[in-house]
Every structure is written in structure tokens, then in C-alpha cells.
Amino acid sequence: MSDKLYDHIFIGAGPISILEALSKKAEGKSVLVIDRAARIGGAWGTTILPNGEDVEIGCHIWSISKPVFRFIDNYLELDMKPLKPQPVIYKNGKDIQYDWKSNVLTMRRMLTNLKHGQLKRLIIDWKSPAYRVAFIPSKYLYPVKGASTFSKALETKARQHDLTVLLKTEIEEIRDQGEYVDIITTDGSSTRCKEVHITSVSNVGRYSTPSKSFTPKLNVSNFIHVHFELSDAQGKKISYVRWVEDDVIHRISDITNQAKSDVERLIIVGVYQEAYESSSEEELQKRIMVKLRENNFIGESTALTNWQFNIFPTNYMDRAEFDSIEDAFNGKLKILPSTDLIYGMHHRLKDWNRLLLSSGK
């Protein structure tokens, strides 16, 4: 056990945790970040393809918030560009503007608030970037070279500010000892802090306080994607497609620009877990190629040069269980918002602008 008592320990080195940890450090606090993964970035990772290309692991998209984009530009100095063409929802053979998803969601939410007379809630929601009505299509931005440049920018900031990040270290238990909290790893060693920060995907086996103990039930989701290296660039030009009402494919991303070599076209297809489990990878790959061809996402003669499936397991804890754990720790355990990157960042932006930007850091 280390004798050091940290002010803050963060479980997970994903983007929200890293930025929050940097903001605590900017306040002069002692901070430690721990992740079981071998690198910083959380869900914004890469995978190595059979041809050696190191590219985005899945189909990613950034939601819209201009203040968050300004922060990313100013603080992380990331090269972001509007997706070209802009993302679409693909339904019954037709492309629908991606904003329609948020238009429908916003209308529904506002009507529910009005119906239940929740005016305070209505004002809060109206200020949130998650609820917006876009009559003129908004511009969806994304890092030019994909998620890996985003993770690298976070790594650079962590290094520049001497943020201590302990990688390849898994946390098994978080134990409230009254005055402080013990963070216990799977190999039994422990580190102390005054406040611990977790995210909704922090997969910790046990949380205990002097009077209560929780062994949370985790909902496991496997995100399955397949990378297709194609022989030509024929077919519809896309950036990100959310495919609805299909039983196999739910998303497609074109990431040709992330490949360093002369790959003609590189796309990622997001696949439903049930479809993946019901056939072999070989059969599923063929089925996906037929669907892509029939829907003109690839050309009639486009052939497959290379392909690779990857599975990204994630565990989510129920919100109600989270709330009970947070209550039991009496302010010593905090849960970071982490379901959508841009909206999650939006929640913390006021503090980050003050602590990370105003001092020229």
C-alpha cells in the first residue's frame, strides 16, 4: 500500500476523466488516474488491421455543441473538420438528415415536460445541447484523422501537465474508510484518496462503506464492428450512416482518410450482437457485403480485400444502483457524465474553461 493520500483518484483514463483530472490538477490538487487499458482514451481507441493499419476501432460520431468544439479547438488544438458528406440516418432505402433524430427527441421531450407541467425541467432541457431543433442542418465535426488523434491529444496534455496515469491496473474494490477512501487493485494493493471519481462504465466489483456493501449488477454490452478494406471507391459516398430497421447492420463509417497506405476504401460496419452470434464471421461478412451492394453503399463489382471483426465489451451499471452507491459514500465518490462525449463534456465545460483555458494552460 502506498502511504500517499491523493486528493482525487479517477477510475478510467477516458476523455472525460482525463480532462476532469487535469482540471483538478490545475486547482493545485494531487491527482491519480488509473486504467486497466494500456493507453489513454477509453472508448476512443484504435485497432490494428491485417495490413498493419492502425485505425479507429468502431463507428464514432460527435454530437453538436459549439462551445465544446471551441474548447476542444483551444485546449486540445485538434484539427476538426465537418464530415463530408454530413452524416445521415438511412431508413427504408432513403437518407434522412441526421438532425431529425434530435428534432424528434427534442419535440417528444418538450411535449412530455409541458404535459406534466414541468416548467423548470423544460428550461433545463432547453439549455442542454442534447435537446435542440435544427431547421437548417447543423455541421457535424470530427477530428480529421479520427479518434486516435483525439486520444493522442489527451495523452499529450496529460504528459505536459505531469498528470500521473497508472495504466494496465484494474480496480477491484472501492472502500470507504470514513476519513478517506481505499482504491484496491485486483492484485490486492491499495491507494488512498479523499475523493474517487468513476464513470458509468467503471467496472468495479465491489463498493463498501463501514455500514453497507454493494456488488453491483453489470449489464454487459458487446459492441461489434467489422472493418472492410475494399477494392475500389464505387458506391454512395458516405461519412457516417445510422442504419435503422435492419437486422444486421446498425452503423457504417467511411474511414479511408485514416489509412496511411494506399487503401482504395476502408469502411467500418457496426453489427448487432444477435446477428454476430447467429452465424460464423465468414457467413456474416458475406451477408453484409450483399446488403451493402443491394443498398448501393458499394459498387456492383467492388470486392473485399481484407476484413476483420472486433468486439468491444462494455459494462453499464444501472443508474439507480449508482445513485445508492453515491449516496452511501457521502460525497467521497462522484460519478462523471459519460454516455455521449460532447454532451458529457458540455456538463463540465464551465469549470474546464475557467481552470484549463483561462490560465493559458
Residues near ligand FAD (CB under 6 A) are: 11-17, 34-37, 42-44, 58, 60-63, 170-171, 199, 201-204, 223, 312, 314, 336, 338, 340-342, 344
Comparison of 231 and 315: residue with beta carbon closer to ligand FAD: 315
Distance separating alpha carbons of residues 201 and 216, to the nearest angstrom: 12
Distance separating alpha carbons of residues 260 and 220, to the nearest angstrom: 34
**Minimal distance, residue 115 CB to ligand FAD, in Å:** 29
**Minimal distance, residue 340 CB to ligand FAD, in Å:** 4
**Minimal distance, residue 155 CB to ligand FAD, in Å:** 13
E strand residue ranges, 119-264: 141-143, 164-166, 171-176, 181-185, 190-199, 206-208, 213-214, 218-230, 240-243, 249-254
Contact assessment for residue 6 and residue 196, using Cβ atoms and an 8 Å cutoff: no
Contact assessment for residue 165 and residue 42, using Cβ atoms and an 8 Å cutoff: no
Comparison of 170 and 182: residue with beta carbon closer to ligand FAD: 170
The span from the first CA to the last CA of the chain, in angstroms, equals 33
Comparison of 289 and 336: residue with beta carbon closer to ligand FAD: 336
Comparison of 42 and 235: residue with beta carbon closer to ligand FAD: 42
Comparison of 37 and 110: residue with beta carbon closer to ligand FAD: 37
Contact assessment for residue 341 and residue 15, using Cβ atoms and an 8 Å cutoff: yes
**Minimal distance, residue 2 CB to ligand FAD, in Å:** 16
Comparison of 284 and 336: residue with beta carbon closer to ligand FAD: 336
Contacts 24+ apart (CB under 8 A), 209-212: 209/175, 209/176, 209/328, 209/329, 209/330, 210/176, 210/177, 210/178, 211/328, 212/328
Distance separating alpha carbons of residues 252 and 269, to the nearest angstrom: 4
Distance separating alpha carbons of residues 105 and 96, to the nearest angstrom: 15
Comparison of 219 and 296: residue with beta carbon closer to ligand FAD: 219
**Minimal distance, residue 81 CB to ligand FAD, in Å:** 17
**Is residue 315 within a helix (H) or strand (E), and if so which, with residue range?**
strand 304-317
Comparison of 248 and 268: residue with beta carbon closer to ligand FAD: 268
Comparison of 12 and 143: residue with beta carbon closer to ligand FAD: 12
Q: Quick one: angle between helices 15-26 and 147-160, nearest 10?
A: 20
Residue 55 DSSP label: E
**Minimal distance, residue 58 CB to ligand FAD, in Å:** 5
Spatial CB neighbours of 61, under 8 Å, sequence gap ≥ 6: 87, 140, 142, 240
**Minimal distance, residue 330 CB to ligand FAD, in Å:** 22
Distance separating alpha carbons of residues 291 and 310, to the nearest angstrom: 20
**Minimal distance, residue 341 CB to ligand FAD, in Å:** 3
**Minimal distance, residue 185 CB to ligand FAD, in Å:** 8
Closest by CA to 10, choosing from 128, 226, 183, is 183
Comparison of 88 and 289: residue with beta carbon closer to ligand FAD: 88
According to DSSP, the residues that pair with 91 across neighbouring strands are 94
Cell of 222: 458487446
Closest by CA to 1, choosing from 158, 197, 177, is 177
**Minimal distance, residue 336 CB to ligand FAD, in Å:** 5
